Amino acid sequence: MRVPFPRFAAALAAAGALLALSAPPATAHPRPASPGCGSVAPQPPGTSHDRTISSGGLDRTYRLHLPENYDARRPWPVVVVFHGRGNDAVRTEEFSKLSTLPAVVAYPNGVVGLGDGDRQAWQGAPYSAPGVDDVAFTGDLLDQLERELCVDTRRVYATGKSNGAGLTGLLACRMSDRIAAIAPVAGAFYPGTREDCEPGRPVPVIEFHGTHDATIPYAGDAERDLPAIPDWVRGWADRNGCAGTTTSRRIEPDITVFRSHGCDRGAEVRHVAVDGGGHTWPGADVYSGGGETTQTIEAHEVLWHFVSRHRLPSSKD
């Protein structure tokens, strides 16, 4: 049975798994305006459109969604969503439900990588397209969004699934000056996404993973040099200086939330383990990958509750 989000959030707060619900909302802080504030939006509010951008000598594409009440006089948070290998922006928008969030949401498309089937992929995986710099592409995409839209440059978040989730880890390593927090789902954390990771600041992380994921195993895969998910999460706790203990609480029959305590600058690290979950997006109503899809939680709501409380530090912080 699907648990209504308010009940789930309350359970997380009671368990200490997320910030207390009484924490000050993000809107209590001044919101830095991007150059696009006051400009006419490139599409009507409440719509999703496919767009093109030049990056690294390639014409790259992405799908852009504006919230229904988009107002060019108000800086909006941004969520960048990276699809899994062989998937695309349109299908990821459908199963993730991220376009329901009160944010500007961009769904980039990867470049066809190595292997069979002409499958789009992202930097950092052994099958990604050689020579394609998706970190630079993400920066170019953010530049375009900031020029054309009114966005809050301190509240830019990255999420994604599988290969796309792995890229969010790489972005946290290399773009900590622009990405406020990440929320990978069923992440494929190949060595290329985690080696030489020296972020310029602690980066808040919430990670979702099914314990029965047959594609990216929860316990890791030595042949593909994939880490066990708890080890990957622990790596971010170490980077973020989380000096306290790690606690866990089973808040629903199939959901256990792990929390690292005492992290520098409030850069929380959370892990949501889905007992019996497959290579899927929690709460998806349509196909999102192989295996079981929990309906106990909605990943888009849970990750938003987490990331939306974090922002990049300002010069006054």
Q: Is residue 6 packed enough to be buried (19+ CB in 10 Å), middle (13-18) or exposed (0-12)? A: exposed
**What pairs with residue 76 in β-bridges?**
151
Residue 211 backbone phi and psi in degrees, to 5: -70, -15
For residue 245, is it within any domain?
A: yes
Quote the pLDDT of residue 9.
53
Quote the pLDDT of residue 26.
42
For residue 238, is it within any domain?
A: yes
For residue 103, is it within any domain?
A: yes
Q: What does the angle CA 273 – CA 279 – CA 285 come to, to the nearest 5 degrees?
A: 95
Please report, for the domain that includes residue 126, its CATH number: 3.40.50.1820
d(CA 271, CA 204): 11
For residue 221, is it within any domain?
A: yes
User: Are 226 and 190 in contact, with CB atoms under 8 Å apart?
Assistant: yes
Q: E strands of 212-254, at which residues?
A: 246-252
Q: Name the one residue in this structure whose structure tokens are 């409030």.
A: 266
Quote the pLDDT of residue 244.
85
**What is the biggest distance separating any 2 CA atoms in the chain, rounded to whole angstroms?**
52
For residue 41, is it within any domain?
A: yes
Long-range contacts for 40-49 (Cβ within 8 Å, ≥24 apart)? 40/72, 41/66, 41/70, 41/72, 41/148, 41/149, 42/148, 42/149, 45/69, 45/70, 46/70, 48/93, 48/99
Q: Which of 144, 159, 200, 194 is nearest to 313 (CA)?
A: 200
User: Are 269 and 260 in contact, with CB atoms under 8 Å apart?
Assistant: yes
> How many domains does one find in the chain?
1
Please state, in angstroms and as integers, the Cα–Cα distance from residue 299 to each residue in 40, 174, 255, following that order: 32, 25, 12
Domain that holds residue 290: 5-18+32-307
For residue 315, is it within any domain?
A: no
User: Are 296 and 2 in contact, with CB atoms under 8 Å apart?
Assistant: yes
Count of positions (residues) in the chain: 317
The H or E element containing residue 272 is: strand 269-274
Q: What is the pLDDT along the chain (317 residues), one digit of tens a residue?
A: 454 444 445 545 544 444 333 233 344 455 688 999 999 999 999 999 999 999 999 999 999 999 999 999 999 999 999 999 999 999 999 999 999 999 999 999 999 999 988 999 999 999 999 999 999 999 999 999 999 999 999 999 999 999 999 999 999 999 999 999 999 999 999 999 999 999 999 999 999 999 999 999 999 999 999 999 999 999 999 999 999 899 999 999 999 999 999 999 999 999 999 999 999 999 999 999 999 999 999 999 999 999 999 999 986 65
For residue 312, is it within any domain?
A: no
For residue 100, is it within any domain?
A: yes
